[in-house]
């Protein structure tokens, strides 16, 4: 006998455009309730209106969130808790594929790309713990680019220079942030998996069309018109389907999984190292303290 369909309540960050937009639409079409975030009110409202039009009867709402501001993260968590929201899935999709050419330090004193991909999602998930169902699942949207040997400037996360004071490069900022995101997902699973709040890290594959939106110069044209034709590229729709399948994964299944764009596999030795994951978690706790925070 098949289980009757039960809609899940799903939070998707960065749900106004790119893969996030198609993911929200796919989840709504599958009958789930979606709360998504957007940085700008006009983008959030325009996207919500479009989703309601395309999926009649959809239960969808949006809230503002800028992960480059811990005050914004605390604000959203506080609002969702006060509103009594409960989630079975959180998809940490928001991200910046084209970090700035020059290093940017946020008002919180952190390197911007690392904050957007790790510190903000860590803080949001931790503050939302009382609103997460048991079992539930966090899906971190990762990138196979964090693997050693991926094209371009190599990944090199130095614990004595996490903000890349000495060797900033936008590609390294992105790769380091995605490596650190894997540490976050794996350490989250170690700490919270036993309580039923699981975490996985999922790369949707290489999606040049959405990556082109924030690319610069000739790279933008290449990503938009040439690379989508390559056999190693995937479409935004396929990426969104894959992510939606992860969001629908049986929440009781253990987490800590890594999907590299093609299969569930083991990430690099550094990404698997539990000591590095613990060390990174200690930094997260220092950068974004949650103890003594009112939940709501």
Ligand X SMILES: NC(=O)c1ccc[n+]([C@@H]2O[C@H](COP(=O)([O-])OP(=O)(O)OC[C@H]3O[C@@H](n4cnc5c(N)ncnc54)[C@H](OP(=O)(O)O)[C@@H]3O)[C@@H](O)[C@H]2O)c1
Which tokens go with 179? 């490596």
Residues assigned a catalytic role: 174
Per-residue binder mask for ligand X (CB under 6 A), 224-263, x = binder: ----------------------------------------
Q: Is 99 in the site for ligand X (CB under 6 A)?
A: no
Q: Which residue is nearest to ligand X, using beta carbons?
A: 18
CB atoms inside a 10 Å sphere around CB 151: 7
Alpha carbon distance 37, 47 (integer Å): 10
Chosen residue from 10, 14, 51, 157 binding ligand X by CB under 6 A? 14
Among 10, 11, 19, 119, binds ligand X (CB under 6 A): 19
CA triplet 263, 193, 62: central angle to 5 degrees? Answer: 80
DSSP string of 33-80? EEEEEESSHHHHHHHHHHHHHHSTT--EEEEE--TT-HHHHHHHHHHH
Q: How many Cα atoms are found within 13 Å in the side-chain-facing hemisphere of 66?
A: 12
Write down the H helix ranges in 117-229: 120-127, 170-192, 208-211, 217-221
Q: Which two tokens stand for residue 140?
A: 């971190």
Could you tell me which of 151, 153, 123, 148 has the C-alpha nearest to residue 138?
123
Binding region for ligand X (CB under 6 A) out of 27-35, 83-91, 151-159, 205-213: 205-213
By CB under 6 A, residue 44 contacts ligand X: no
> Which residue, 129 or 233, has its beta carbon nearer to ligand X?
233
- Of 27, 34, 67, 288, the residue at the interface with ligand X (CB under 6 A) is 67
Q: How far is the CB of 207 from ligand X (least distance, A)?
A: 4
Nearer to ligand X, 55 or 70 (CB): 70
Q: How many residues bind ligand X (CB under 6 A)?
A: 29
Q: Which is nearer to ligand X, 208 or 251 (CB)?
A: 208
Q: Which residues bind ligand X (CB under 6 A)?
A: 14, 16-20, 39-40, 43, 65-68, 93-97, 116, 141, 143, 203-204, 206-207, 210-211, 213-214
């Amino acid at each position: 006998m098949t289980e009757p369909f039960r809609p899940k309540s799903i939070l998707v960050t960065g749900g106004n455009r790119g893969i996030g937009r198609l993911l929200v639409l796919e989840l709504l079409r599958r009958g789930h309730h979606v709360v998504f975030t957007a940085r700008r009110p006009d983008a959030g409202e325009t996207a919500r209106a479009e989703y309601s039009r395309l999926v009649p009867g959809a239960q969808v709402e949006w809230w503002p969130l800028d992960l480059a501001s811990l005050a914004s993260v605390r604000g959203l968590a506080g609002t969702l808790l006060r509103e009594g929201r409960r989630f079975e899935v959180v998809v940490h999709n928001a991200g910046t594929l084209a970090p700035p050419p020059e290093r940017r330090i946020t008002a919180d004193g952190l390197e911007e790309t690392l904050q957007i991909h790790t510190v903000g999602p860590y803080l949001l998930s931790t503050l939302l713990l009382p609103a997460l169902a048991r079992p539930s699942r966090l899906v971190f949207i990762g990138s196979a680019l964090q693997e050693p040997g991926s094209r371009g400037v190599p990944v090199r996360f130095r614990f004595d220079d996490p903000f890349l004071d000495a060797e900033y490069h936008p590609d390294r900022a992105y790769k380091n942030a995605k490596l650190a995101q894997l540490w976050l997902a794996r350490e989250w699973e170690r700490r919270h998996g036993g309580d039923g709040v699981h975490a996985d890290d999922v790369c949707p594959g290489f999606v040049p069309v959405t990556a082109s939106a924030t690319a610069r110069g000739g790279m933008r044209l290449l990503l938009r018109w040439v690379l989508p034709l390559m056999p190693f590229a995937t479409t935004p729709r396929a990426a969104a389907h894959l992510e939606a399948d992860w969001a629908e994964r049986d929440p009781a299944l253990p987490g800590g999984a890594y999907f590299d764009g093609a299969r569930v596999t083991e990430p690099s030795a550094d990404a698997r190292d539990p000591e590095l994951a613990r060390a990174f978690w200690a930094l997260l706790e220092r950068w974004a303290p949650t103890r003594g925070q009112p939940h709501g």
